[in-house]
Amino acid sequence: MLCFEQITAPWWDDKPVAIVGGGHSLVGFDFDSLKEFYVVAVKATMFDLPWATAGIGLDAPRYMEWAARFKTLSFPVYWAAPANGGNKTVLMAGTEKADNVRFIQRVAGVNRLSDDPSFVYGGGTSSFAALGLTVLKRAKWIGLFGLDYNAGTDQNFHRNEQHYIKQRIQNGANWKLWASYYDNIKDQLDTLGVKVINGSPNSSITAFPRMNPDVAVACLSNLCRLGSKRDGGVYGSACESISPHDAEVSGSRAYP
């Protein structure tokens, strides 16, 4: 049996959070530009960002591949696993657990945000679970980076494939479906006063304003400089200094 932990302090409510995935939109990106934020590294990206705040994943095969590598990381690694995942859960429970690994319960079948610190919803991907974790950590300003969700069936969908022992080609239709799950949580984010921007300009996730990653960094950086007032007005002010051309991608805008 896995021993699940609650999601508790420290909270991430005093500065923006960047959730960083492995999409090709981040090829050539300056990851050091994210160091002023809390950074949640999704799956293999945690091995690219040794200074991240936390890492997260949810699928058992990758946990089995990387279990021995987690101990080399200096930050907590949250792994969202089902309470009863059959043989995969048994295998994960039987693997030596690094001290920095935090098992959190993943509930399937509901593509929403959990308001219960004892579990997250999976939403099909580790990135969706990362957003759920970040909201439970009380974040108010969130930037998505490298969450492209648009790989076709004829290409690898990670920019950092070298970390994956068993490489997969994912059906492009799955990415479209998983991207649509973010539309299901916009009402919850609005109720909580959480603002999200998407720093992947061609991402299939259209629930949030899309822009180039450097523009998303500028928007989040402005938030840091504007101080501690945490409401939509400040979020809007943070993005006002960005030119409409830069902040507008595929018909979306940063919060005006």
pLDDT in tens, 154-205: 455 555 565 556 666 667 788 899 999 999 999 999 999 999 999 999 999 9
Distance of CA 161 to the CA centre of its chain: 18
Find where tokens 């402005």 sit.
Answer: 222
More confident residue, 192 or 90: 192
The reply to whether the predicted model has a pTM over 0.85 is yes
Give the whole-angstrom CA distance, residue 70 versus residue 74.
9
Torsion of CA 225, 228, 234, 239, to 10 degrees: 30
Domain residue ranges of the chain, discontinuous segments joined by +: 17-251
Give the whole-angstrom CA distance, residue 168 versus residue 250.
29
**Tens digits of per-residue pLDDT, 8-20?**
999 999 999 999 9
**Tens digits of per-residue pLDDT, 201-234?**
999 999 999 999 999 999 999 877 765 444 444 4
pLDDT of residue 238: 54
